[in-house]
């Protein structure tokens, strides 16, 4: 059974995680099979060749290959003669926010495919330079702006290889979903989403499934939980107050949904992210 990795377990409070990963022939010399609960990965192969196993399928890889790994991909890497790649992981909510604001066409279709979307990149070109820049910045003070720069460089390559450069999502749907990132809209929930969309409930439900892969209520709950996670990390407000701000009717209901999504209670999540951002043995922390 592959391990399910959660963002909070290894990169809590960070905008992204970066690593240079060598893959060799032996079992001990390559990453274990795993999937992700709540984050995406971008992989750029910088040397050698190998494969990425995704479920029962295999995706051949060689130097210059670029891959977007989705949370549900149960994957591992293997190579006979050796392979090296840069791995940039980032929370899925950041990917969705970028896709919404940029009006991207491909992500919903990409999520439904058997294999992760891939493209070819020039190892002396701008995409490889962005990977190198994020890898270097990670050891210092990584920023969300760095991640935005990488996504801006990478997405056109993926769209070009995929033929999805034209956004097929209705403008009314994109506008409504972007507006639901505002806290006042989240509090009102599904009725507010329906009002912003200004279409029938059935049409909204069909469009959400087609273009976002979820139901309208699933979308609202997901956005509420993402906002709650942000507030837990960036404020000192009580958990009950955060639940109210995000539109949850009760703290226990909120806690149960949060546990299912992030694998820990809201209070534990706050403690873990606080330790990640500011070491608890710092003399400034009491």
Confirm if 57 and 115 have CB atoms less than 8 A apart: yes
Within a domain: 92: yes
Q: What is the CATH number of the domain that holds 105?
A: 2.60.120.280
- Among the residues of 235-264, which ranges form H helices? 239-245, 251-262
- 279, with CB counted inside 10 A (0-12, 13-18, 19+), is exposed
SS3 172: helix
State residue 166's pLDDT score: 53
State residue 247's pLDDT score: 96
Do residue 150 and residue 25 come from a single domain? yes
Do residue 22 and residue 143 come from a single domain? yes
State residue 31's pLDDT score: 62
Q: Contacts from 253-261 at CB under 8 Å and sequence distance 24+?
A: 254/228, 257/221, 257/225, 258/225, 258/228, 258/229, 261/37, 261/38, 261/222, 261/225
Sequence-distant (6+) residues with CB within 8 A of 238 are none
Do residue 221 and residue 255 come from a single domain? yes
Do residue 10 and residue 130 come from a single domain? yes
Within a domain: 282: no
Beta strand 65-69 pairing with 118-120: antiparallel
Confirm if 38 and 261 have CB atoms less than 8 A apart: yes
Within a domain: 39: yes
Do residue 147 and residue 181 come from a single domain? no
Do residue 236 and residue 130 come from a single domain? no
Q: Which of 162, 187, 216 is the last residue of a domain?
A: 162
Q: What is the pTM of this model?
A: 0.72
Do residue 187 and residue 256 come from a single domain? yes
What tens digit of pLDDT does each residue of 213-265 get? 789 999 999 999 989 988 998 889 999 999 999 999 999 999 999 998 888 89
Within a domain: 285: no
Q: Mean per-residue pLDDT for 69-82?
A: 90
The domain tally of the chain equals 2
Do residue 76 and residue 118 come from a single domain? yes
Beta bridge partners of 122: none
Using CA atoms, how far residue 147 sits from 96, 109, 143, 161, 274, in Å, is 13, 22, 7, 21, 21
The whole-angstrom distance between residue 136's C-alpha and the CA centroid of its chain comes to 21
The whole-angstrom distance between residue 120's C-alpha and the CA centroid of its chain comes to 22
Do residue 247 and residue 139 come from a single domain? no
**What is d(CA 268, CA 65) in angstroms, rounded to the nearest whole number?**
38
Q: What is the CATH number of the domain that holds 188?
A: 1.10.10.60
More reliable by pLDDT, 283 or 38: 38
Q: Mean pLDDT over all residues of the chain?
A: 86
Whole domain around residue 257: which residue ranges? 171-276
Q: Which of 139, 162, 185 is the last residue of a domain?
A: 162
More reliable by pLDDT, 69 or 233: 69
Residue 127 corresponds to which tokens in the numbers above?
A: 């995409």
Least confident among 47-51, 105-109, 170-174, 235-239: 105-109
Do residue 68 and residue 204 come from a single domain? no
Do residue 47 and residue 187 come from a single domain? no
Within a domain: 50: yes
Do residue 8 and residue 138 come from a single domain? yes
| Residue 69 parent element (H or E) | strand 65-69
Residue 135 corresponds to which tokens in the numbers above?
A: 């890898």
State residue 59's pLDDT score: 92
Q: Which of 128, 162, 196 is the last residue of a domain?
A: 162
Within a domain: 238: yes
Within a domain: 64: yes
């Amino acid at each position: 059974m592959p391990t399910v990795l959660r963002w909070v377990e290894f990169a809590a409070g960070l905008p992204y995680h970066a690593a240079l990963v060598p893959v060799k022939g032996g079992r001990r010399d390559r990453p274990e099979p795993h999937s992700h609960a709540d984050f995406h990965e971008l992989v750029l192969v910088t040397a050698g060749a190998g494969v990425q196993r995704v479920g029962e399928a295999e995706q051949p890889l060689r130097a210059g290959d670029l891959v977007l790994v989705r949370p549900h991909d149960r994957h591992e890497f293997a190579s006979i003669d050796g392979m090296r790649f840069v791995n940039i992981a980032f929370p899925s909510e950041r990917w969705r926010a970028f896709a919404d604001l940029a009006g991207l066409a491909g992500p919903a279709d990409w999520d439904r495919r058997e294999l992760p979307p891939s493209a070819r990149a020039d190892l002396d070109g701008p995409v490889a330079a962005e990977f190198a820049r994020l890898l270097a910045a990670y050891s210092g003070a990584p920023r969300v702006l760095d991640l935005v720069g990488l996504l801006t460089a990478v997405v056109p390559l993926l769209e070009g290889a995929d033929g999805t450069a034209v956004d097929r999502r209705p403008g009314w749907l994109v506008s409504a979903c972007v507006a639901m990132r505002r806290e006042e809209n989240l509090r009102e929930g599904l009725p507010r989403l329906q009002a912003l969309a200004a279409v029938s409930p059935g049409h909204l439900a069909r469009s959400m499934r087609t273009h976002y892969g979820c139901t309208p209520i699933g979308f609202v709950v997901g956005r509420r939980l993402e906002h709650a996670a942000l507030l837990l990390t960036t404020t000192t407000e009580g958990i009950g107050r955060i639940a109210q701000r995000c539109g949850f009717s009760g703290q226990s209901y909120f806690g149960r949904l949060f546990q299912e999504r992030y694998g820990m209670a809201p209070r534990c999540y706050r403690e873990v992210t606080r330790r990640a951002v500011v070491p608890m043995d710092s003399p400034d922390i009491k």
